[in-house]
Structure 1
Amino acid sequence: MLRSVLAISAILTLVGPGAADPLTRLGVGRPATPSAIAAWDIDVRADGRGLPPGRGTVREGAAVFAARCAGCHGAQGEGAAADALVGGRGTLATAKPLRTIGSYWPYATTLFDYVRRAMPFDAPQSLTPDEVYAVSAYLLHRNGILPEQAGLDADSLARVVMPNRDGFTTDPRPDLPAPIR
């Protein structure tokens, strides 16, 4: 027990609140520069704040999806090695709900944010903003939310109303901001 206390004391001395700057004391890491932070600051909020400039159409999205997404999600987004992205409307209250973009997701901006950050699986963050807008338009079209001739940009994507937007409950804590509508 005494050894454990001494070990913990030694560790806290090295990295605890009273320790010197770990970058210099331990010789690891590097300072977070504004440009390094900006490269990682790519979140998109439900109301569209954070969406980058760009534009993409359903037709362009079909081509990007075929080249970069269909291998995992199926030719039409029906699911293959990875989850289905299309279908599932009306299944959430059934014994076998299919949670897809069109049946479950409350905000279209979440689709953009997720694709931009995490897809394609083998090369996350490799799609341009125009390609992400295009894939988003294509998937929203495949889910019956956008017409075939639609295009998306930061303004129009933020205005898309998803079928399950009101399917989530809000956090009842009074100290939180009101939900986005």
Structure 2
Amino acid sequence: MDALKHYPSMAAIMLALACSPVAAQNSGLGTPATPEQIAGWNIEIAPDGKNLPPGSGTIEMGKKVYDTQCLACHGAKLEGGIGPALGGGVGSLATDKPLKTVQSYWPYATTAFDYIRRAMPFHAPQSLTNDEVYAVTGYLLHEYDLIKADTVVNADVIRAVNMPNKDGFYQDDRPDAKNKRCMSDCLKKP
């Protein structure tokens, strides 16, 4: 153990290994996660819309959700406040002060939906129903003229939205950057 005094990083490694799920399972601490517990956290939506949940919402409903759940952080006109602005910034990404918004940054409406669903509202993430997430996503898309006011927003609509920055990203073709994105099928045992 004297070696740990001279090599503090070794102590950190040993502590990390001792606290790992494998160590906990082997020592009788904790329990393996059940498929139901994993499913509760396995909610990611792919850019192509894979895993979009059932549900729908209207722009009018989305405005109500925004006013009650989002306005305090993002402002009455989506201009930002204690949270970031949600609109504007078109053409700013290549500047010294890029403004990353729904309008300027997000390449897919599906990933905007995913982010809202898993991370918003800030004070209570994952508390919105699927219908509320469809509605508020639709409200944001409507505010930037990406869908019409009478649109009933659902998985098909979200998949079909043509975002302003869809061509603003490129495929990373470096040989050392081919990490597989883990979707629900990564969790299945071989």
C-alpha displacement of 1:154 = 1.1
What residue number does 2:172 align with?
Answer: 171
Q: Provide Cα deviations, 1:6-45, integer angstroms capped at 9, x if missing partner.
A: x969x49x8499xx863251x4322110100110110000
Please give the per-residue CA displacement for 1:46-83, whole angstroms capped at 9, x wherever unaligned. Answer: 00001100001111100000000000000121111110
What is the RMSD computed on CA atoms of the aligned residues? 2.8
Following superposition, the deviation at residue 131 of structure 1 comes to: 0.2
Cα displacement (A) at 1:98: 2.2
Task: State how far apart, in whole Å, the 2-side matches of 1:16 and 1:101 are.
Answer: 39
Q: Aligned letter for 1:76?
A: K
Paired residue for 1:70?
Answer: 71
Number of residue pairs aligned between Structure 1 and Structure 2: 172
Residue 185 of structure 2 corresponds to none
Residue 90 of structure 1 aligns with which residue?
91
Structure 1 residue 49 corresponds to structure 2 residue 47:
no
Higher helix share: 2
Structure 1 residues 32-181: aligned runs within 5 Å: 32-173=33-174, 176=178
Separation in structure 2 between the aligned mates of residue 176 and residue 161 of structure 1, nearest angstrom:
27
After TM superposition, list the pairs within 5 Å mapping 1:11-26 onto structure 2: 11=14, 15=18, 22-25=24-27
TM-score (norm 1): 0.83
AA paired with 2:112?
Answer: L
Deviation at 1:2?
A: 4.8
Q: Distance in 1 between matches of 2:52 and 2:105?
A: 21
- State the TM-score, normalized to the length of structure 2: 0.79
Of 36-45 and 155-164, deviating more is: 155-164
8 Å CA contact retained: 1:48, 1:109: yes
**What is the alpha-carbon distance in structure 2 between the residues aligned to residue 150 and residue 102 of structure 1?**
18
Taking only the aligned residue pairs, the percentage that are identical comes to: 51
Separation in 2 of the partners of 1:148 and 1:115?
Answer: 20
| Secondary structure, aligned partner of 2:153 | strand
In structure 2, runs of 5+ residues without a counterpart are 180-190
Shift of 1:172: 1.3
